[in-house]
Structure 1
Amino acid sequence: MEVRQLRAVVAVADTGSVTRAAVLLHLVQPAVTRQVHALEEELGVELFVRSRTGMRPTEAGLAFVERARRALTELDRARAEVQPSVEVGGSVAVGLLDSLTEAVAVGLVARVRQDYPGIRLRLMTGYSGHLQEWLESGTVEIALLYDVTTSASVAVRPLFEESLWAVAPPGDWPGGPVALTDLAAHPVVMPAPPHGLRTLLDGACARAGVELDGIVEVNTMITQKRLAASGVGWTVLPAVAVEADVAAGVFSGGPLPVTRSVVLARSAGRRPSPAMEVVSRELERGVSHAAFSSPPPRYKD
């Protein structure tokens, strides 16, 4: 099993075809085909389903690609750490919260590309619980999480406390704080479990003795926004995701008496590479800007 074979398999899985993988790897197509076939023969299983429209991983292929990607990431990190160079390089996998992705991703990529062109970023978006699992398994190396404290497996750096907001259709709320009883007086588009926001909201309502009229559960922020804007019902989202939209009149609403802590986390058992340190610093900078400035409205229906 060779590194070039691992890179070929991962590239084919990412692009969906040998032709596109060959372009990505700066190889001729037959070379990529040979590397994939050689690895399949060594493993004794087919890693891809071939069709006229391209190649997609089999169940065995999905499992192997995940492990191969981690192995290549570790090799890239090791190379960057031991090779003498004035330029910071290597790959860094970053886990981003859905509510913060739009606010920080573009700036993060732009700053890293400009100042550290040797760093390759891989951005993955998910719920806080999923991101923590990916962090502990090595799928991502640093991640933004909610309400997590330092433990034997995860080292965290608190970034800021954020309010949850009740988000209403335009004109439904005059502005200012929203009590949980005010929220309960309206149908609510609920974030679906296992979203950390749902867990936090359920806990706050239970302590206050309030029961929400959840009319539908959804698992993406953009769907919550669209349903609220269309008048289907109210919803609950982090302040950073909706303050500018409320100010622009896309929604009405205001802060609930519920807060949560945003932290920057990494594996406690892994020494951060120079590239990870750089990306962590730039990510923290981007989050601070998103949390403490007033960005223009970001939502478009």
Structure 2
Amino acid sequence: MSTPTLKQIRFFVAAVDRGSLSRAAAHLNVAQPALSQQIAQLEATLRNPLLGRTARGVHPTEAGQRFYRHARTILRQVDGAVADLTGPGPVIGRVAIGLPTSVSTILAYPLLGRILRDYPGIRPELFESLSGYLHELIARRRLELALLYRDRAEPGLTVQPILREELFLVTKAGADLPAVITMREVAALPLVMPSPTHTLRTMVEAAFDREGLALTVIADVDSLPTMRRIAASGLAAAILPISGLSGLDEDARPGMIRIVAPTITRPLALCYAADQPLSGPAALVADLMVGEVRRLVEDGAWGNAILL
């Protein structure tokens, strides 16, 4: 039985990552027919179709998803072995990073700036999405690491807590806003919240449930900019961390009221696959990520966050 070649594996991973044979070929600087031929040979060797073709591009089949997880690990190990034997030198490689939207608003720019300025050999791939989806991408080996709202390890996931941030009621700005509001008072207000599967929603609902309270949600909105705009208009309030308002101009900023009796906090942690310890460029990016988070907290740019 023949064995897949590294070229075939790299071509397959590029096709999955870019969702298109033409984009993968352009990225690898090869002709598309040559790329298609290599992937066809790989499928023949593995006796399974790995890619589904549509008018919009390609996507991995069930077998392709399983092989993709192995393929990413193989390529990472090969790159690490080469780096180990070639000795000290510039750090080179791709690192796929995941950030939740509210974290990306405050962290993405300084983190990418630091990587691009100080480590030009690293090619970062930034994914901004919901925390639950980023967890799924780690399990599928699409991401090397991500910041997720977790405070304890889960099956298949290594979790290193970094900070805990307080959540606030976000509403229309005004001079008469109180400094604090109780959870019981918040429960009576109309709210826009992420959909029920969103980590923020489940966390907030659990906090209110512990107090015997229920949220008054009038719309499910999985868009941070839209939630902020609705809250600023006064149509409904939202519950967000201070980091979720990062980057807004002063005239566009909604008001924020501290929720008390009790307060609501959520943890943020560096996460990666438990069976794939960080090394090489990924380990360096993880250190840079944690360092930038700590700097932002210590400089007061992350609101009421507390480093763990």
Tell me the TM-score range normalised by the shorter chain. Answer: 0.7 to 0.9
Name the aligned partner's letter for residue 263 of structure 1.
A
Following TM superposition, by how much is the alpha carbon of 1:190 offset from its aligned partner in structure 2, in angstroms? Answer: 1.8
Secondary structure of the residue that 1:178 maps to in structure 2?
A: strand
Moved more, 218-227 or 130-139: 130-139
* Distance verdict in 2 for CA 1:265–1:37, change over 3 Å: closer
1:59 pairs, out of 47, 61, 64, with 61
**1:226 aligns to what?**
229
Query: What is the rounded CA distance, in whole Å, between the counterparts of 1:254 and 1:172 in structure 2?
Result: 12
- 1:278 alignment partner in structure 2: 284
| Partner of residue 30 from structure 2, selected from 27, 31, 38 | 27
Give the CA deviation at 1:254: 1.9
Q: Indicate conservation of the 8 Å contact 2:145/2:271, yes or no.
A: yes
User: Are 1:42 and 2:45 counterparts?
Assistant: yes
Note closer, same or farther for the CA distance 1:106–1:21 as it changes in structure 2 (3 Å cut): same
**How much does 1:31 deviate?**
1.8
Aligned positions of 1:137-286 closer than 5 A: 138-149=141-152, 154-171=157-174, 174-242=177-245, 245=248, 248-256=251-259, 257-286=263-292
Separation of aligned partners in 2, 1:18 and 1:153: 31
Cα distance in 2, alignment partners of residues 29 and 160 from structure 1? 46
Change (3 A) 1:133 1:293: same
Aligned residues: 294
Residue type at the aligned position of 2:61: E
Contact 2:49 2:64 in 1 (8 A): no
171 and 272 in structure 1: CA distance in 2 versus 1, 3 angstrom threshold: same
3-state SS in 2 of match to 1:92: strand
Contact 2:49-2:61 within 8 A present in 1 as well = no
Percent of residue pairs identical: 31
TM-score by length of structure 1 reads 0.81
Unpaired runs of 5+ residues, structure 2, are: 303-308
Contact 2:171 2:254 in 1 (8 A): yes
Residues 129-154 of structure 1 show CA distances to partners (whole Å, capped at 9, x for unaligned) of 44445445644333212241357855
Q: Which runs of 5+ in 1 are unaligned?
A: 296-301
- What RMSD in Å do the two structures reach over aligned CA positions? 3.1
Q: What letter is aligned with 2:214?
A: E
Structure 1 residue 35: deviation in Å? 1.0
What is the distance in 2 between the residues matched to 1:59 and 1:272? 27
Cα deviation, residue 269, structure 1: 4.8
- Counterpart Cα distance in 2 of 1:217 and 1:62: 34
Give the AA of the match of 1:39.
L
1:108 paired residue number: 111
In 2: Cα distance, 1:199 partner to 1:111 partner: 33
Map of 2:99 onto structure 1: 96
CA contact (8 A) 1:170 1:249 kept: no
